[in-house]
Amino acid sequence: MNSRRSTIPPGWQVKTLAELGGQVTSGSRGWAAFYADHGSLFVRITNLDRSNIRLDLSNSRYVQVDPNDAEARRTQLASGDLLVSITADIGIIGYVDEYVPKPAYINQHVARVRLDPNLVDSRFVAYYLASWEPQRSFVGSTDTGAKAGMNLAAVAALSTVVPPLAEQSRIADALTDVDDLIATLKRAIAKQRAIKQGLVQQLLASRSSWPESTIANQFHVQLGKRFDAAVNRGELKPCMTNRGVRWGRIEPAETVQAPLTKQDTADLRLVAGDVLVCEGGEIGRASVWNDELPECYYQNTLHRLRAKGSYRPQLLVAFLEYRAKTGALTAMVGKSSLAHLTKENLMRVPIPVPSVREQDAITGVLKDNNDLISDLERRLAKNQAVKQGMLQELLTGSTRLPVEEEVA
């Protein structure tokens, strides 16, 4: 992690965090006694995200401590601080921005680095340390043993490229702007998903007059086939995997080529209107197949549901998503870390049966919501790809941002 880059852009340097005035400390042990339902934010590794330098405060823990206590003063966070995970999953980088509520503290698994703002823009350093090349070094140096860890001296010895300060800030501003857009899109997606869940919940709660049935009564259910090129024989065909089944959409790029016999192609070919349901992973995750590819089959990680009558597949997916998000499907298969949704359990899942007219009205509303979510997800994926390109270009100096010269 400390090797100096042999080639850096003109005007750039490589320095350690210590050379940039880095004051490094870690949190205190034994703060569990101060845990409270409310109080000051207590930052843990679970609040750090390897894909984003911003803290994830969706699962926050709080403490009630005297801010004037010596340990509290030592471990208190300030805007501009860098955070580095130093145990277990080493090298996750966080940045404490103005939106992190203060006072806030860290536990013993996180190091705090406070840099000299006259020498460096700590946002730039956070983005650099979180980028691909430093992260690869972190992963390569991580001890997979039970006592994996990084000491504070090693944190201080971490190196970063250092452009001129004004250029650092321009780069950090550009990356912050795209992070702001990504965060806005994520919030919009979460809001639309919540609206969808609320709609389905309202439908289930207010339409007790609907008759109830089961998936077995309304759909033919067939688990896919396990394909092994060393064993199976036949012609290579595109097969959908569970990675390609997302809530409300199919990702055609997630197919694999597998050998299929003529009987396999007859049994496993997908047709428009089929519902694909994940057997493992996020069990119950489902989407409707709409002929995204002219010819496709499916693996044993997926169940295929084909309507026996007039039950609308889009409505089934909505009910499955609601039951998955509320934990009802998980309850059916138990709490095993290797939970699987068997064909037998899937067939027993209860579903309401509105009239065909009601089904069409409901699916029309759900389609508008799904289309909006899909559009937001496409925009999110595009901006995430843009960010990755910006990280590569800006943090290596391949692309230089113009900086206004200071007037003497």
Q: Which two tokens stand for residue 273?
A: 């209107």
Q: Give per-residue pLDDT as tens, 343-401.
A: 999 999 999 999 999 999 888 988 888 889 989 999 999 999 999 999 999 999 999 99
- pLDDT > 50? residue 19: yes
- What is the model's pTM? 0.77
Averaging pLDDT over each range in 135-144, 175-184, 398-407, which range is the top one?
175-184
- pLDDT > 90? residue 100: yes
Q: Which two tokens stand for residue 372?
A: 């909006």
Q: Is 80 helix (H, G, I), strand (E, B) or coil?
A: coil
- pLDDT > 50? residue 408: no
Fold of 211-353: Adenine-n6-DNA-methyltransferase TaqI; Chain A, domain 2 (3.90.220)
- pLDDT > 50? residue 8: yes
CB-based contacts of 148, cutoff 8 Å, min separation 6: 87, 88, 90, 142
Q: Give per-residue pLDDT as tens, 258-307.
A: 999 999 999 999 999 999 999 988 889 999 999 999 999 999 999 999 99
Q: Confidence band (pLDDT; 50, 70, 90) for 124?
A: very high
Average pLDDT of 18-32?
92
Please, what CATH class does the domain formed by 13-162 belong to?
Answer: alpha beta
Task: Note the pLDDT of residue 141.
Answer: 54
Strand partners, 167: none
Tell me the pLDDT of the chain averaged across its residues: 90
Q: Scanning the structure block, which residue is given the tokens 């940045």? A: 95
Contact 225, 299 (CB under 8 A): yes
- pLDDT > 60? residue 140: no
By percentage, how much of the chain surpasses pLDDT 70?
A: 92
Q: Using CA atoms, how far apart are residues 152 and 385, in angstroms rounded to an integer?
A: 34
Task: Note the pLDDT of residue 234.
Answer: 86
Which is it for the CA torsion 359, 365, 368, 373, positive or negative? negative
Q: Which ranges in 26-69 belong to alpha helices (H)?
A: none
> Could you write out the DSSP letters of every residue in 89-133?
STT-EEE--TTS-SSEEEBTTEEEEE--TTT--HHHHHHHHTSHH
Contact 395, 131 (CB under 8 A): yes
Q: Using CA atoms, how far apart are residues 290 and 183, in angstroms rounded to an integer?
A: 30
Task: Note the pLDDT of residue 204.
Answer: 72
End-to-end Cα distance, the chain? 38
- pLDDT > 50? residue 146: no
Q: What HEC string does the chain produce?
A: CCCCCCCCCCCCEEEECHHHCCEEEECECCHHHHEECCCEEEECHHHCECCECECCCCCCEEECCCCCCHHHHHHECCCCCEEEECECCCCCEEECCCCCCCCEEEECCEEEEECCCCCCCHHHHHHHHCCHHHHHHHHHHCCCCCCCECCHHHHHCCEEEECCHHHHHHHHHHHHHHHHHHHHHHHHHHHHHHHHHHHHHHHHHHCCCCCEEEHHHHEEEEECECCCCCCCCCEEEEEECHHHEECCEECHHHEEEEEECHHHHHHHCCCCCCEEEECCCCCCCEEECCCCCCCCEEECCEEEEEECCCCCHHHHHHHHHHHHHCCHHHHHHCCCCCCCCCHHHHHCCEEECCCHHHHHHHHHHHHHHHHHHHHHHHHHHHHHHHHHHHHHHHHCCCCCCCCCCCCC
Q: Confidence band (pLDDT; 50, 70, 90) for 139?
A: low
Q: Give per-residue pLDDT as tens, 199-239.
A: 888 877 666 688 999 999 999 999 998 877 666 778 999 99
Q: Confidence band (pLDDT; 50, 70, 90) for 407?
A: very low
Task: Note the pLDDT of residue 352.
Answer: 92
Do 211-353 and 13-162 have the same topology in CATH? yes
- pLDDT > 60? residue 144: no
Question: Phi and psi at residue 271, in whole multiples of 5°?
Answer: -125, 155
Q: Using CA atoms, how far apart are residues 49 and 46, in angstroms rounded to an integer?
A: 8
Task: Note the pLDDT of residue 147.
Answer: 58
Contact 345, 319 (CB under 8 A): no
Q: Give per-residue pLDDT as tens, 58-88.
A: 889 999 999 889 999 999 999 999 999 999 8
Q: Using CA atoms, how far apart are residues 32 and 50, in angstroms rounded to an integer?
A: 25
Q: Confidence band (pLDDT; 50, 70, 90) for 197?
A: confident
Q: Which ranges in 326-397 belong to alpha helices (H)?
A: 328-333, 343-347, 356-395
Domain ranges (residues) in the chain: 13-162, 211-353
Q: Scanning the structure block, which residue is given the tokens 């499907």? A: 329
- pLDDT > 50? residue 190: yes
Contact 283, 339 (CB under 8 A): yes
- Residue, of 339 and 44, whose pLDDT is higher: 44
- pLDDT > 50? residue 55: yes
Q: Using CA atoms, how far apart are residues 338 and 328, in angstroms rounded to an integer?
A: 17
